[in-house]
Structures are given as structure tokens and as C-alpha cells.
Amino acid sequence: MFVLVIGASGLIGAALCARLGAEGHEVVRAVRSRTSNGLFKGRTVIIDMAKALEPEVWLPHLHGVDAVVNCAGVLQDSARDNTDKVHAGGASALFAACERGGVRRVIHFSAIGVDREQPSAFSATKLAGDHALMKRDLDWVILRPSVVLGRPAFGASALFRGLAALPLLPRMPGTGLLQVVQLDDVVSTVLNLIGRDSPSRLTLELAGPEALTMSEIVARYREWLGWGRAREFVLPAWVAAMLYRSGDLAGLLGWRPPMRTNAAREIARGATGALEPWKLATGIRPSSLASALAANPPTAQERWFAGLYFVKSAIFVVLPFFWIATGIISLTTGWRSGLELLLNTAFAPLAGAAVVAGALADIVVGAMIASRPTSRLGLWGAIAVSFFYAIAGSILRPDLWNEPLGPLMKILPILVLHFCALAILEER
């Protein structure tokens, strides 16, 4: 079959493209921006769901397509994401184009529980997309998975690994039970339902066989990674709210942390559902989290990732703070100290201008690192500025290498930290 997969760079979409290709299907990946697709042999098209709001945008991509699988989804409105345009507007245009273009088979990913309660814009817009598909004369299937976990570490899979690495486990107040579902079972469901003769016009909840608390899920991951059970403590509600708001702020800067206010509202409802309709429609028996983990022994790389998960967050808070604060100090309380460093050098006549230029460069670099779209460029800028400071300092003030506080010596670990930040920057 010729299958178009929307949201092909996400957790589900990437795994689905790999399985479809391995089973002999011709696959077209639809992604919002150019990303590495590894050894994938199919074609990739660049299309932004939030901007493809008319059927005419989709029709050129549907020629010869036998089935469409829509895996696109965003957690919360931010500088980069719009829940209504992705889940409702763009999806509605895609479904209308499928109807006009004669593509009968459409499999659409929604979320578990959206038909029962809509505590946030995420679930409300997901439900709107479901209704838009149900109105079309198509052989549609709506899949509503619970929290999807798999070997790839992204979103919830990454968060649970990161929590498992903490020696003290914070318990977020007001979280419901989760019937986590395995990525392999979700992908197998699509393969089972994508054929022309497969059942259609049905909605299935994809949920795991056991309802677990977040603490129980993290405990499973700690056991899998070979670590003992962590001590737990309940976060005060105001601390939890502050953390979720911090995630919202990161979202405004273009990052996609899983801990945001929409996640808090959705997780309070829980993610549980009925398994039997799914089993009857596909014959799939969903795996438990424990059995799925047992079938995939952990590697050193996975232990590294778990340990680095929250360290990465700290790095991308500390580095912008370091550069911006350094620039502000140079222009205010540290102004005289900055001038004195240059007074007995060849740059003495330009000392004031040099301090101002360096301070502004520091502030710009810090702001660029803080914003996800420019973070990579900002990190390289910080590395370039650090090298410049090291070279200029060695020429103008070589005595600073011998200072007890090591103002030039400290550039070396700063450089290493920036290269580490570059190495762990990508999210998927």
C-alpha cells in the first residue's frame, strides 16, 4: 500500500514509518520541518499542519495514496504550536481533502478520555478533530491511546526515565491512574487496521492491561534500570503549580517540556479506558509495562539518558542565566572592574567601548541559548565568544592565567559544558 503518515517525526509516527517500510509498504513522511530520517528509504514532504488549513494544500500530496495516518499532535499552545489549528483546523482540511481525493482509509490518532471530559485545549481540540472526521464519507478509524511508552525516549517515555534517575522521587499532587500502552502495540494496531478490508467507522481506546500510579510507573523503570526504589515525597501544590508554569514559560521560548499546565489538567483526569473493543477488533493483547521492559534489557546509553534528563534542563537554565547576568553585571556593578582589566593594556583607550561590546555580546548569546529556535546558534556563539575571551586575555593579560580564582582557566570547563549542551540539544 501507499501510505501517507502525518506527524512522521513524532514518537508514534517515526515508529510507524519504520514498521510500514519493513513490511513492504510505500511510505511518505509528512513532517513540519526538515529532520534526519536515518535509513528511511521513502519520500518526505514538508507540510505544517497548523498552516495547511485548506483541502487544496493537502490534495497534491494525496495522488496515488491508499491510506492516510494522522499522528500529528501538540500538547499545548506555545510559540511553535497551536492546538486548535493542528488538532481541528489542519485535521479537518486533511479529512476534506481525503474525501475529495478518493482516499477512503483514514486512521486518526486522538487521545483517551477526550469524549468523556475536556479539561484543557488539548483534549477539546482533539475531540473537535474526531468529530470532523466522523462527519466525512470515509472508512475512518479513530484511535485514542493512553500514555504511550516505548524504547524511544521522547515525551512521557523520557520523563519517566528522568524521574527514575532521581534519588528522591517527587510525587505530583492530583494525578490520576494511567493505563500506559506500549508503542509496539499501538503501531501493530495501525498495521492491523490499515487494509482496505479492515473494520472501519469505529473508535478504539488503546490502553494497557493495568492501571498504575505515576510512582508505580517510575518504580518499574527504576527496577528495569537496575536501581533500588527511591524515597518519595509529596510536592506541595504551590511548588507543583510553579513547576508547571515554568514548563509553560519554556514552551513560550519554543521548548516542549512534558510538564506543562495542560499536562497537569489532563493527568488529573487520568488515562484509563476499556480494552475489550480494541482486543475484539484487532486480536491484539496489550503488553504490560513490566513485560515490555523485561523484553528489552537496558543499555548504558539508557542509563546515561535517564541521568542527563533533568541535568539538561538545568544546563539550559544556567547557561542563559550565566551569559545574561554576566552582561548585566558588566554594565552595572562590575563596570569599574571591567575597565580596570583593560587600563594597562593596548586597549586602554577603548576600554569603555570594549566592556560595553562584550556585555552586549554576552546578553545576546544568553538570549539566543534560551530560545529553542536559536539555541544551537547561541551555543556556537557562546563557544566563539569564549575562545575570543581566552585568546584576547592571553595576549592582553596573560597574568590572569596565574590568578588564584582562575578567570581564564574557568573558560575551559565553560567550553566543555557548551559542547555537552550541543550534544544533548535535540529532543527527538
Tell me which of 270, 298, 326 is where a domain ends: 298
CA distance 14 to 352: 53
Residues 378 and 270 in one domain: no
Tell me which of 298, 322, 350 is where a domain ends: 298
303 part of a folded domain:
no
CA angle 32, 179, 117 (to 5 degrees): 70
304 part of a folded domain:
no
306 part of a folded domain:
no
Residues 144 and 240 in one domain: yes
Structural domains in the chain (count): 2
Residues 265 and 328 in one domain: no
Residues 329 and 262 in one domain: no
Residues 150 and 246 in one domain: yes
428 part of a folded domain:
no
Question: In CATH, what number is assigned to the domain containing residue 120?
Answer: 3.40.50.720
The neighbouring-strand residues paired with 109 are 143
Q: pLDDT value at position 37?
A: 63
Residues 91 and 214 in one domain: yes
Q: pLDDT value at position 80?
A: 82
- What string of pLDDT tens digits covers the 428 residues of the chain? 999 999 999 999 999 999 999 999 999 999 998 766 666 677 899 999 999 999 999 999 999 999 999 999 999 988 788 999 999 999 999 999 999 999 999 999 999 999 999 999 999 999 999 999 999 999 999 999 999 999 988 888 899 999 999 999 998 888 899 999 999 999 999 999 998 899 999 999 999 999 999 999 999 999 999 998 889 999 999 999 999 999 999 999 999 888 899 999 998 889 999 999 999 999 999 999 999 999 999 999 999 999 999 999 999 999 999 999 999 999 999 999 989 888 888 888 888 999 999 999 999 999 999 999 999 999 999 999 999 999 999 999 999 999 888 889 999 999 999 999 999 998 87
Residues 248 and 150 in one domain: yes
Residues 120 and 240 in one domain: yes
62 part of a folded domain:
yes
305 part of a folded domain:
no
Q: What is the pLDDT of residues 240-277, one digit of tens each?
A: 999 999 999 999 999 988 889 999 999 888 999 999 99
CA distance 254 to 16: 26
Q: What is the pLDDT of residues 304-327, one digit of tens each?
A: 999 999 999 999 999 999 999 999
Grid cell at residue 172:
505530583
Residues 179 and 138 in one domain: yes
Which H, E and C letters describe the chain, residue by residue? CEEEEECCCCHHHHHHHHHHHHCCCEEEEEECCCCCCCCCCCEEEECCCCCCCCHHHHHHHCCCCCEEEECCCCCCCCCCCCHHHHHHHHHHHHHHHHHHHCCCEEEEECCCCCCCCCCCHHHHHHHHHHHHHHCCCCEEEEEEECCEECCCCCCHHHHHHHHHCCCEEEECCCCCCECCEEHHHHHHHHHHHCCCCCCCCEEEEECCCCCECHHHHHHHHHHHHCCCCCEEEECCHHHHHHHHHHHHHHHHCCCCCCCCHHHHHHHHHCECCCCHHHHHHHCCCCCCHHHHHHCCCCCHHHHHHHHHHHHHHHHHHHHHHHHHHHHHHHHCCCHHHHHHHHCCCCCHHHHHHHHHHHHHHHHHHHHHHHCHHHHHHHHHHHHHHHHHHHHHHHHHCHHHHHCCCCCCCCHHHHHHHHHHHHHCCCCC
The domain containing residue 106 runs over which residues?
Answer: 2-298
Residues 265 and 195 in one domain: yes
Residues 288 and 318 in one domain: no
Q: pLDDT value at position 38?
A: 64
Tell me which of 274, 298, 322 is where a domain ends: 298
Residues 251 and 373 in one domain: no
307 part of a folded domain:
no
